[in-house]
């Protein structure tokens, strides 16, 4: 039991270090990393809907380069990016910020990444030069289409500086109407999210062979508080695993330091007499320490106040022998290591 508890603590330490390592990187270093990543795509052909070096569009270029260089997950479309960022004055824009253009009538329809010295990198669909290129804000064409710059980086909390925000309710206006401070913009963040997920449970092991096993299904309900940086939450699962002859209810606390990442740990209540998969050996479940897990999720496909995501989850649940002594390493992995693949529905509350 002591060995498993130590293993659980080491896993939590490792995962927590992995999750928070990016947060200590200075913003200036992130900005430089974005520029370097953008330069790698120069010459990539334009492809509507593309996200790779085989072909990429303007918003896909922003989405992919910023995600791969910093882990920051931005919206996928130009319109969503413009709604997401905080509009800033011209003299405040820095490397890594976004620049927007009205290339189709009077609506925001194009985006690029600012790299300093009035230059930006973007993916262009037509004109003498197409694909990912470097352009200047002083070029006649882009100067006449320029709509403004926006940032997704946070401002220091002790700053008294305010930012100019364009009225995004109407893209036809050319006038800047609202002054919004960082503190005021933070209030627009959803306070609370509720999500529900359905998973297929599986693993790749039995006691005597390497074999793909569908173990059962899980229904998960989880809530997240968004006003704190680490996004703490609480979840409860309803897990049915017929191959182990059990029904389990894990209850756990979670942290979501990134939009695509969640780590959690808690207790597990087990109903039924668990057996080891691939044998008839009866084993015993542990209430606490119970479960440790981490899950990754794709960006949400948002529809109003809801969002749909694909989720991949990996968890480890503690089991022991009938006499409450520790299982050997292989048996503990067969019994406790579970992969869960499924869909998550997010519901956003103001």
Active-site residues, by number, are 58, 110, 122
Q: Which residue, among 46, 75, 44, has the nearest Cα to 62 in the 3D structure? A: 75
SS (HEC) of the chain = CHHHHHHHHHHHHHHHHHHHHHHHCCHHHHHHHHHHHHHCCCCCCECCCCEECCEECHHHHHHHHHHHHHCCCCCCCHHHHHHHCEEECHHHCCCCCEEEECCECCECCEEEEEEECCEEEEEECCCCCCEEEEEECCCHHHHHHEEEEEECCCCCCCCCCEEEECCCCCCCCCCCCEEEEHHHHHCCCCCEEEEEEEEEEEEEECCCCEEEEEEEEEEEEEEEECCCCCCEEEEEEEEEEHHHCEEEEEEEEEEEEECCEEEEEEEEEEECCCECCCCCCEEEECCCCCEEEEEEECCCEEECCEEEEEEEEEEEECEEECCCCECCHHHHHHHHEEEEEEEEEEEEEC
* Bridging pattern class, strands 337-349 and 192-205: antiparallel
CA-CA-CA-CA dihedral for 150, 151, 152, 155, to nearest 10 = -130
């Amino acid at each position: 039991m002591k060995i498993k508890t130590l293993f659980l603590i080491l896993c939590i330490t490792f995962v927590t270090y992995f999750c928070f390592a990016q947060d200590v990187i200075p913003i200036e270093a992130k900005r430089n990393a974005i520029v370097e990543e953008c330069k790698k795509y120069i010459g990539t052909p334009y492809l509507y809907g593309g996200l790779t070096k085989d072909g990429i569009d303007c918003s896909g270029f922003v989405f992919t380069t910023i995600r791969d260089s910093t882990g920051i997950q931005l919206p996928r479309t130009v319109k969503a990016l413009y709604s997401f960022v905080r509009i800033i004055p011209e003299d405040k824009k820095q490397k890594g910020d976004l620049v927007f253009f009205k290339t189709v009538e009077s609506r925001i329809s194009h985006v690029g990444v600012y790299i300093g010295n009035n230059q930006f990198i973007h993916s262009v669909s037509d004109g003498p030069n197409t694909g990912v290129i470097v352009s200047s804000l002083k070029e006649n064409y882009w100067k006449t289409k320029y709509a403004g710059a926006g940032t997704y980086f946070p401002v220091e909390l002790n700053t008294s500086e305010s930012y100019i925000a364009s009225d995004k309710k109407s893209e036809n206006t050319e006038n800047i109407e609202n002054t919004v401070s960082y503190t005021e913009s933070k209030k627009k963040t959803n306070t609370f999210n509720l999500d529900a997920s359905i998973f297929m449970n599986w693993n790749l092991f039995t006691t005597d062979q390497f074999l793909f096993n569908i173990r059962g299904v899980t229904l998960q309900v989880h809530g997240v508080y968004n006003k704190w940086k680490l996004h703490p939450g609480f979840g409860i699962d309803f897990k049915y695993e017929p191959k182990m002859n059990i029904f389990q209810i894990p209850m756990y606390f979670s942290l979501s330091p990134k939009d695509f990442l969640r780590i959690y740990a808690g207790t597990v209540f087990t109903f039924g007499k668990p057996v080891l998969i691939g044998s008839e050996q009866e084993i015993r479940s542990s209430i606490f320490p119970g479960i440790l897990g981490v899950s990754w999720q794709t960006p949400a496909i948002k529809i109003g106040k809801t969002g749909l995501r694909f989720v991949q989850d990996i968890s480890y649940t503690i089991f022991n022998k009938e006499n409450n002594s520790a299982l050997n390493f292989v048996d503990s992995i067969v019994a406790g290591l579970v992969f869960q693949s499924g869909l998550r529905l997010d519901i956003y509350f103001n």
